[in-house]
Structures are given as structure tokens and as C-alpha cells.
A and B are shown apart, each in its own frame.
Chain A
Amino acid sequence: MSAVKLRLENVGKSFTLADKTTTVAVQDFTLDIRAGEFLVIVGPSGCGKTTILNLLAGLEIASTGRMTIDDRIIAGPGAERGVMFQDYALFPWRNVRGNVEFGLRFGPAGAGLSVADREERVRATIELVGLTGAENKYPHQLSGGMRQRVALARLIANEPGVLLMDEPLAALDAQTRLILQDELLRIWGQDRDAPSRRTVVFITHAIDEAVFLADRVAVMTTNPGRLKQLIEIDLPRPRGDATRAAPRFHALTQQIWALIRAEAFRATIT
């Protein structure tokens, strides 16, 4: 049993809207995320997945409960928790290279790196996400899928210990998505032993993606957002194409789908 990296204890978050009414986005959310764990959160839209991520990132402050990282209270953002935003949040005035190198140049992630080392890491990261040749393009010149890859590169170039990712592969075509799922597992450290892995909290609406990547899948329910069930994904690692073909993979996918089907339908209809 490895150490707890992130701990959420009875966390709740409510927002006051413009008309003074209050909505509860997340209620009584308790979860321990282990060091080196790949945790995936799935749930119908509006279930507070993104709120959980913003709370962990320190961009929002919980209304109730407490959250810790390595037993320290999370009071704000920190470079050890990197975030990939759903809307990418790329800097429009910086080209691909400028976006990817941002954290290394202006944040603590690049401290101690020589300029040559930094440039090499930026180059290698851009190559990893398949954007070589587009280094000098600006975000508005890129397709949605390419922007998403820039955001992914910007996150992993900083090599944060915790990666918080909000639907990071949603805008990609099916093939690229599979390739980057494999890459993501490699970056996370699936070939290394568990203690040297990064900790990932990953939001997706694709259940097969959740099962393929996760150590555990947290299924959320909506109105208010709560944790419905935690499912251990006992597929062996390293995972690859064989995993996607395994009967157990499909069984787990079906099991999770059954958990959220009713609410997903409701969310579609209303």
C-alpha cells in the first residue's frame, strides 16, 4: 500500500450565482489518491468533475472539508500540480514553442536547467506530441486537436509530480487518441516501478479510455456532485493493444457504463 498523495475529506463546493441562488457543485467528496496512482474520474456532464480538478489545482477554495497534498493543506496553486485545462488556455501571443517553454522559463520547473537543456526538453516534448514542424505557429493557426497537443506538451514539459487533466484527449481523432493514451501511460511511468510514477487525476467522458488508463475509476453522480463508486481496474500493466482486446477490459467498461447510464440519458434528454 503506497502513501497517500492527495486527500479529499468531506469536500464540498457551492457557488453563488448572479441571482443570489446557490448551487452545490460538489458535496461531501472523500477520496484518497495514492502516490503514483492513475485515477480517472468519469460521470455525466454537470457532475462537478471539473470543480474537483480546480479544487485540487488550488484555483478554487473548497466551501467545506479539507484537501491535502503530502499532508499539507492545499491553499493555492503550485508548480508540483500541473493542470491541463479543458479549453487548453494557451497563450495566444506565444507560438507553439513559446507555450511549451512557458513554465520552464518563468516558473520553478526550469530552475537549474541551462538554456540548452531547456531547449532540448522543449524540442523533445514537441516531438513527443507530434507537433514537430509547427513550432512557430500561433494557437489561432492550429486545429483543435493540435491545440490540445500543445496544451499537453506544455503540461508535461514541466514534469510536475501531479498531473491534473481535464478531458485532455477529447478533441483528438480516434487514432491519435489511442497513440497518445499509450504515450500518456509511458510519461506517467507505467514501465517504472510504482514509487517513481507520477500521480495523475484524469477526467474523461470516454469510459473505454478511463478503463484503459486507470488504476481506479471514480464514478461521479450529478445534482449534487458526489462520488458514487470507486472501481479498481485490475488489468495488468504495462497495458497496450492487448489490453484493449481483453475480455476483462470490456467487462469493466460495461460495469461502469451501467453505473452512469441512467444519469447520462437524463442529462441528454433534459
Chain B
Amino acid sequence: MNRLARGLILPVLLLLAWEFGVGLMVEPGQAPLPSRVAAAGLGLLRSGDLPWGIAQSLGRVFSGFLVASMIAIPIGLVMGASRAVERNLDPLVESFRPIAAIAILPLAILWFGTGTPAALFIVAYAAFFPLIINTIAGVKRVDRRLVDAARTMGVGRVTILRTVIVPGALPQIGVGLRLALGVAWTAIIAAELAVGAKSGGGGSGGIGQMMFVFYAYSIELNSIVVCMLAVGLVALLLDRGLRAALSHAMPWGRA
């Protein structure tokens, strides 16, 4: 309790300085104020706009994340297990990897329009790379002796993949999942902002688009800050949740 109180002193002082310092120096409306951010946040919560925006964005993140996992993890497993496959696919993966998710947005909008499919495509694209790279690394890091042990028990190749390689690579795949979920969330906000710009504030929804509307139409700085905080908080909760799920799935691990 004492430590908590001491830890709060500086943030509270900064917030107070912000509240009164900014209020004195800048015209209202030019800069967000803590009190107004709090009021705007409450308003957005009560109206249901913020929860609904977050829910829409999360829905896209989870579906895109799932699609990416279903593609990247199997391919990563095969690439990690087979030199030949890796040699053939690695150049392809590595040549797309430097292209940021947001850079393929024009293509996504052309192909899929400004709705959910485009957002999903961006998210899946962004999540794909950390997943596949960590899956490959995970497979390669599986202790050779464990594979040997299974072979000396006469266990077949496919069964070894399922019973030794996959669980052995799981901690590293878990790292990939965490990174992927992080970039997926980042990507969805960026995609919604951009899609919002293209569609003129209409349609697709999500927290990113909410921010765009506050920026482009009503110029509500405080609400934009509310959205920023919400984005950060959701990212934190996502990672904590995934970490808890992973350590539950790997009771042997020090994940």
C-alpha cells in the first residue's frame, strides 16, 4: 500500500501540472485536459460508442489473427522441419516481410473494398510474419535428443511431428502468437484510420475509425485521447490474457 501510494505521487503531480498548466497557457480546445478526457471517456462509455468500437476492432483482430495462425503455423512447422522446403519458401517470405502491413492497404481496399474483409486481410498479413518466423525458429530449437528418443522407441515421423516437434516448438510459437497479436492490433487501428479516410467516415466502424471521425469532423481532442488510451489498454489486456492462456496451456514451462 505504501509502495503503491509512493508510485502514484509522480503521475498524479504530472496530471495536476498538465491540468492547470495547460489550462493557463493554451486556449481551450487546442489541447486535451485530463478532466475533459475523463469526462469524454465517461460519455463514450455510457453511450456505448467506445465499447462497440472496441468490440468491432477486436472482432477483426481475432478473425485475422486466427486466419494468420492457421496459415503461418502449419507452413512454419514444415519449413522448420524440412531444409528443402525452407530453402524454397524462405526467399518468398523474406521478400514480403519488409513490406509493412499498412503499405498493402491500397491493394486491400481495391480488392476487398472498405469493409471488414479489407481490415481482416491487413491484420492477417501483419500477424503472418512474426508467427511463421517464430514457428520456424521453434521447430529448429527442438532438442535433437528428444527426437532421437522418440525414434529409438520406433515412433513414426508424423507422430514425432505431433508428439515431439509441436510441443517442443510451442514455447517459441507462443512468443510468435504474442508478437502477432500485438502487431495485429496495431495494424487494425492503422487500417481503420486509413479506411475511414477513404470511405469518408462512413461505414466500417471500429475504434480506429472512431478516432478518424473525431479528428476529421468534430475535432474532439479529448475523445481522441480517450481512444488512444483505450487502444493502449486493450493491447495490454490482450497480451496479459494471451500470456495467461499460454502458461495454462504449457504447465511444464517457464514461459
Contact = CB atoms under 8 A, between A and B. Distances in A.
Interface residues of A, number: 29
B250 to A, nearest CB: 7
Interface string A77-114: 11111110101010111110000001100111100000
Interface string B145-159: 110111111110001
B164 A91 contact: yes
Interface string B236-254: 0000000000000011111
Given A89-B145, A140-B252, A83 B152 contact: yes
B49 interface: no
A57 interface: yes
B170 interface: yes
Interface in B128-156: 143, 145-146, 148-155
B151 A59 contact: yes
A75 B143 CA distance: 22
Contacts of A82: 152-153
B53 interface: no
Contact of A106 (B143, B152, B159, B254): B159
Contacts of A91: 146, 149, 164, 167
B64 interface: no
B168 interface: yes
Given A93-B252, A140-B252, A107 B145 contact: no
Contact of A107 (B143, B155, B167, B254): B155
A158 interface: yes
A84 to B, nearest CB: 9
B-side binding surface: helix, strand, loop or mixed?
Answer: helix
Q: Among B151, B153, B159, find the residue whose CB has the most chain A CB atoms closer than 10 A.
A: B153
A257 interface: no
A249 interface: no
A-side binding surface: helix, strand, loop or mixed?
Answer: loop
B163 interface: yes
Nearest to A136: B251
Q: How large is the interface on B (under 10, 10 to 19, 20 to 34, 35 or more residues)?
A: 20 to 34
B170 A93 contact: yes
A95 B167 CA distance: 13
Given A91-B164, A93-B250, A106-B159, A78 B145 contact: no
A57 B146 contact: no
B152 A81 contact: yes
A58 B164 CA distance: 19
A102 B252 contact: no
Given A103-B153, A103-B154, A92 B252 contact: yes
A30 to B, nearest CB: 24
B154 A93 contact: no
Top 7 nearest A-B pairs by Cβ distance?
A79-B154, A103-B153, A107-B153, A89-B145, A89-B149, A77-B151, A107-B154
Interface of B: 143, 145-146, 148-155, 159, 163-164, 167-168, 170, 250-254
Given A82-B153, A107-B155, 5 more contacts: A77-B151, A92-B253, A93-B170, A94-B252, A106-B153
Interface of A: 57-59, 76-83, 85, 87, 89, 91-95, 102-103, 106-109, 138-140, 158
6 contacts: A58-B152, A77-B154, A89-B143, A89-B149, A91-B149, A94-B252
